[in-house]
Amino acid sequence: MSDLERIVAVDHPDPHTYLGIHVVAPATPGAGGDGVVVRAYRPDATRVRVLPKTKGEPVEAIRAHRAGVFEAKFPGEKEVFAYQLEVSYGERTFVQDDAYAFLPTLGDIDVHLAGEGKHYELWSRFGAHVRRLSGVEGTSFVVWAPQARRVSVVGDFNGWDGRLHAMRRLSPNGIWELFVPGVGEGATYKFEIVSPKGDRFLKLDPFAFRTELRPATGGIVHRLRPPKHDDGESWTDAPWLEKRASQDPLRRPWSIYEVHLGAWMKVPEERGHGAIDVGSGHTGRWMTYREIAPKLVAYVKELGFTHVELMPITEYPYDGSWGYQVTGYFSPTARYGTPEDLKFLIDALHAAGIGVILDWVPAHFPRDAHGLRRFDGTAVYEHLDPRQGEHADWGTMVFNYGRPEVRNFLLASALFWLEEYHLDGLRVDAVASMLYLDYSRKEGQWVPNKYGGRENLEAIEFLRELNTLVHDKQPGAVVIAEESTAWPAVSRPVYVGGLGFTFKWNMGWMHDTLAYFQMDPFFRRFHHQKITFGFLYAWSENYVLPLSHDEVVHMKGSLLRKMPGDDWQKFANLRALYGYMWAHPGKKLLFMGGEIAQGSEFNEAASLDWHVLSEGKNATRHRGVQELVSDLNRELRARPELFEADVEQAGFQWIDANDNEQSVASFLRWDHARERFLVCVLNATPVVRRGYRIGVPVAGQYREILNTDSLDYGGSGVSVCPPDPSHDGNPLLVAVETPHHGLPASLSLVLPPLATVWLEGPPMPKTTAATAKSPALDGAGSDANEGV
């Protein structure tokens, strides 16, 4: 088939070799050129003229093929020149620059690095980029479709006609490129792809920076820029980023507020995009990133959280997926506004001293026709074999981590969000499903690795490379693994054989703790190990303690509804849980709604139940939980003993782990220098225990600094001791030099019912601090307590 025939069939891998401007080869070898020819393919056009920009007169192009190939000759010209095309369709005439008159916008080094999987700024070259080329404004398009017979750019600028802007194949590994003059920011586009079998379909640009609001699925040409403020476009968070880079995240306080932006707060008075009537009055539109910024920033700051974790805001088609089925790995969802609006929100959070984590999903992607699945008609981003390439449970596809281009795509996505959006870290979803080839698969439904094992070797290398890159290129940024198995060294450095994550979610702690607090208090004494066993592995990883969205969905009930007993006991149990959690080693994460003791499950179509704070018989108790969370966060940030040695065994010490009969657990938290400590005591029964003696490191005055049974929190107001007027009314305790629980001093307490109390002790004498023994993990309490 000739070049002309292939152009007409829209089946040419490099239309630039025929279309555009070319010096005509001489009839005699060695002689000069025989003029210049300009060819254009304009189906349905009635007339085409070539308009030289700098010399000569317009030349009428003749029809070289009835399908719409036009040709204009310039005899005697020795070299190419700049020109435009005047194209007429009946009475309508357009003057435009020719897309086939330009050199490639992608260099050989870019092509080479992309093929190797080492182009870590891939987003700066692939996708759609507004640029000026040879003095002409337009947009360059680059896409990877290795097995495609043809790729065209289509959009609102060419009537979605794939014949007009067919791309050229730049490399054997299937990178396609085209610069389209006149296409600017805001244009809607897709790629029209012809598969090896000849099937034709449309795909969203995997690198699109902006997308249409669902159900539309197009990309929008967008120029990356800083957030827009009243005084111009700029980031204002340089001090935040500089401070972040200088700090060790392991030794900082972390209290993360997990948020679904579309369901945190809606505008009930307005209907429109996102207005979904769920039958209980929660009807309204989504707030935009810009609208939610002042409200979310003020709220999170008031409650004292250190970070916000955004459930996935990378573009996704199905609301009910909560963002976990991604189609836009470089575009924030259009549900809440523009990319600059999201940057404004992040900038505002940073200005308030609040970090931002993105929930990022490299484990799988959806089957939606416009997405990555069978991108060029073949398995490009996924494995062909369904035993490797499909998640049957989720109905999604699995990335082929062994393919360099796929690995590069995901690595670039991770770095893109950290670099372009100034995010402070990524929480990587469903890591366990990446690590194991047999994850949620029966015998015969998975393919072993080359050694016959179940470990996904390619995914392991991908995760190690991801973590190494993030820590190298983004100082102070973190990567958090949601990993639910016993895979070792998830949060240990790559150079010692680990996966390199900064933190790992402690799913074992979460399951055991919730199971314990869901029990009737009478039975807790038989399951005391559920709140003590976790300390046997608490320092095997750098843990985050998660009470996430996963625990309040799919008929699991809200945290409040999980608690046993009547309303009083439910609230008391929840408050006790929070007090215990915030004192426990590990960084903290709480899903939105938990801080107000919301009674209903998470529903992405509804706002949080903000009305519970002001309406109903338990409004005071809901506000009390909210105040408790605020106080917990305040104490966490102010007390090094609660965070400095979170990931070290030396930061924890049992007082008594063995009082299962009374369902009481007591322990110490130490700062890194072991000069300051905090006492935590949990009474997991509704019985007030008077005269309860515990061992402490040093004699002297102790002060109650937090009591989840306080009247301020909606509790019954039982204090560990009577208030002391000489100390602003705060309860004051005196420890005596009577050894107990293997410690040199002790004090007698009143333990409030279903409550956690924190006590502040005197500073350790320097000699004592220097020689303090290491924490006792066996928690042996040699002296029994008799509660009254």
Phi-psi region of 774 (alpha: psi -120 to 50; beta: other; left: phi over 0): beta
CA separation for the pair 669, 126 (Å, rounded):
50
In angstroms, rounded to a whole number, what is the distance separating the alpha carbons of residues 162 and 129? 20
Q: Within 13 A of 578's CA, how many CA atoms are on the CB side?
A: 32
| Alpha-carbon 243 to chain mean position | 22
Sign of the torsion angle spanned by Cα atoms 209, 215, 217, 218: negative
From residue 662, how far is each of 478, 519, 525, 692, 751 by CA, in Å? Answer: 40, 15, 7, 11, 11
* Contact call for residues 754 and 631 (beta carbons, < 8 A): no
The C-alpha angle with vertex 79 and arms to 77 and 83, in degrees rounded to 5, equals 85
Dist CA 84 CA 51 (whole Å)? 5
The answer to whether 538 and 586 have CB atoms below 8 angstroms apart is: yes
Catalytic residue among 98, 237, 482, 760: 482
Beta strands in 145-254 (DSSP E): 150-155, 168-169, 175-181, 188-194, 200-203, 219-220, 228-229, 232-233
Q: How far apart are CA 565 and CA 491, in angstroms?
A: 38
**Dihedrals phi, psi of 674, to nearest 5 degrees:** 55, 40
d(CA 546, CA 119): 34
Residues 26 and 747: their CA atoms lie apart, in Å, by 103
Catalytic residue among 258, 429, 512, 541: 429
Residue 429 is a catalytic residue: yes
Distance of CA 44 to the CA centre of its chain: 47
Q: Cβ(532)–Cβ(569) under 8 Å?
A: no
CA pair distance 564, 514, nearest whole angstrom: 11
482 is an active site residue: yes
Strand partners for 140: 129, 179
- 537, HSE (Cβ side, Cα atoms, 13 Å): 16
List, by residue number, the catalytic residues.
429, 482
